[in-house]
Amino acid sequence: MEQNNICRHNEFCGGCTYQGTDYGEQLRTKESAVRSLFSSAEITPARFAPIEGCPREQRFGYRNKMEYTFGDMVKDGPLCLGMHKIKNFMSIVTVDECQLVHPDFNRILRFTLDFCTDRGYVKYHKKSHLGLLRNLVVRRGVRTGELLVNIVTSSQSEFDEDAWKEGLLALPLDCRIVGIMHTLNDGLADTVACDELRLLYGREYYYEELLGLRFIVHEFAFFQTNVDAVERLYSEALALIPDLEGKTVFDLYCGTGTISQIAARSAARVLGVEIVPESVESARENAALNGLDNCEFVCGDVFAVLDTRQDKPDVIIVDPPRAGMSQEAVTRIASYGVKQILYISCNPKSLVKNLAWFAELGYEAEYVRPYDNFPMTRHVETVVLMSKANT
């Protein structure tokens, strides 16, 4: 999906930074930023490859998940549903013509906003903690065309579940809704959390396909946001480790086990560690779905899990969240003394901090390559292959 015009929400929405900027310039800016961070940290890789961009047809409509927020643009103004306003966390911009998502997302958002407005439902206020409406979550299986829709509210008043469900199912959509949910969340934090999940229609998961494998993705499980781009990234990243035959691989911060299962097709055994229970559940289901019996998935903090294990890896892959890894986790990982560690990062700032710690423990950055998996935004992924010095 390619767009030619600057998004009409661009003036206020904080989702995109580079709308209207030449794509080549976007790539140069992102690569320069990553190189600058490496230089400031005095990390000089043996090879720093040019940034990998997205093909023209994949620069828009690539997001397979959105967490929208209910609120208002101005205090006590009309109900809005969308993204936080630039530099104003309390204000919400309705984004029913967003270019980074499939058009079905915009149709579902518009219907839900109109539905809630017509019934006089009130937004949940972040400071007073009063009100009903909190979030709308839409997820899509890119290869399967399956949609999940989940509205998140407090339990302070009633929400007409049946009418909303029937309205969604009547929408003229390109994809197919396979699950509709209502999540009750009375927590004080401004996050999508679940006190109670009500399944109104279908199932609470969708199917996705990635590099010849099939994945079950539960509503609250992590999955890569840009399927086409992550296929390229994973293929090229794993190719940096040419021979996994007969080896034991530790995939740390493994999410729903995508890298684990891709590696398991060659490796003798893979251990995946992840702290989110829903993701671990999905990983186990997915391994069974794909007939892979050489994968083990453990739920828990990486350092705590490794500290109790007696088995040792030949290769370690890490794909941590934006905060990166704790120093104790880095120390524990380095203590295995494996020849190669593959680091896949979604935040170059935490990446270079972790690489500096690894350098103190004898690991050198052998190869670095940034990936632009999220065009029009600030985000950049980076793959780093580290090697044990003097091996």
Would you call 16 a catalytic residue per the annotation? no
The answer to whether position 1 is within a domain reads: no
Over 90: is that where the pLDDT of 321 sits? Answer: yes
Is 274 assigned a ligand-binding role in the annotation? yes
Domain match, 236 and 361 both = yes
The answer to whether position 3 is within a domain reads: no
Could you give the 3-state DSSP secondary structure of residue 150? strand
Domain count, the chain: 2
The answer to whether position 13 is within a domain reads: no
Phi, psi of 56 (to 5 degrees): -55, -40
The answer to whether position 203 is within a domain reads: yes
Overall average pLDDT of the 242-271 stretch: 94
Which residue is listed with tokens 């439902």?
Answer: 121
Q: What is the pLDDT of residue 369?
A: 98
Domain match, 35 and 155 both = no
Overall average pLDDT of the 21-29 stretch: 95
Domain match, 52 and 105 both = no
The answer to whether position 99 is within a domain reads: yes
Domain match, 259 and 160 both = no
The answer to whether position 216 is within a domain reads: no
Domain match, 265 and 170 both = no
Domain match, 281 and 309 both = yes
Domain match, 230 and 160 both = no
Q: What is the CATH number of the domain that holds 201?
A: 2.40.50.1070
- Residue 371's pLDDT band, with cuts at 50, 70 and 90, is very high
Over 60: is that where the pLDDT of 26 sits? Answer: yes
Domain match, 188 and 93 both = yes
Overall average pLDDT of the 251-265 stretch: 95
Q: What is the CATH number of the domain that holds 244?
A: 3.40.50.150
- Percent pLDDT > 90 in the chain is 86
Over 70: is that where the pLDDT of 2 sits? Answer: no
Pairing label, strands 340-345, 381-388 = antiparallel
Residues 6+ apart with CB under 8 A from 285: 216
Over 60: is that where the pLDDT of 273 sits? Answer: yes
Residue type, 346: C
> Could you tell me the residue range of the domain that residue 311 belongs to?
23-57+225-388
Final residue in a domain of this structure, among 210, 245, 269: 210
Domain match, 202 and 137 both = yes
Which residue is listed with tokens 């023209």?
Answer: 56
Q: Which residue is catalytic, options 116, 254, 295, 346?
A: 346
CA–CA dist 259, 272 (Å, integer): 9
CB 194 within 8 A of CB 142: no
From residue 148, alpha-carbon distances to 210, 230, 259 in Å are 18, 21, 23
Overall average pLDDT of the 25-44 stretch: 97
CA–CA dist 281, 132 (Å, integer): 30
Is 319 assigned a ligand-binding role in the annotation? yes
Final residue in a domain of this structure, among 182, 210, 238: 210
Q: What is the pLDDT of residues 78-92, one digit of tens each?
A: 999 999 988 777 899
- Residue 391's pLDDT band, with cuts at 50, 70 and 90, is low
Q: How does 3-39 read in b/e, with b if 16+ C-beta sit within 10 Å?
A: eeeebebbebbbbbebbeeeeeebbeebbeebeebbe
The answer to whether position 2 is within a domain reads: no
Final residue in a domain of this structure, among 165, 180, 210: 210
CA–CA dist 164, 175 (Å, integer): 18
Domain match, 205 and 236 both = no
The answer to whether position 196 is within a domain reads: yes
> What element of type H or E holds 234?
helix 227-238
Domain match, 261 and 324 both = yes
- Residue 19's pLDDT band, with cuts at 50, 70 and 90, is confident
Over 80: is that where the pLDDT of 180 sits? Answer: yes
Residues 6+ apart with CB under 8 A from 264: 249, 270, 287, 292, 294, 295
Which residue is listed with tokens 């993701």?
Answer: 279
Domain match, 245 and 295 both = yes
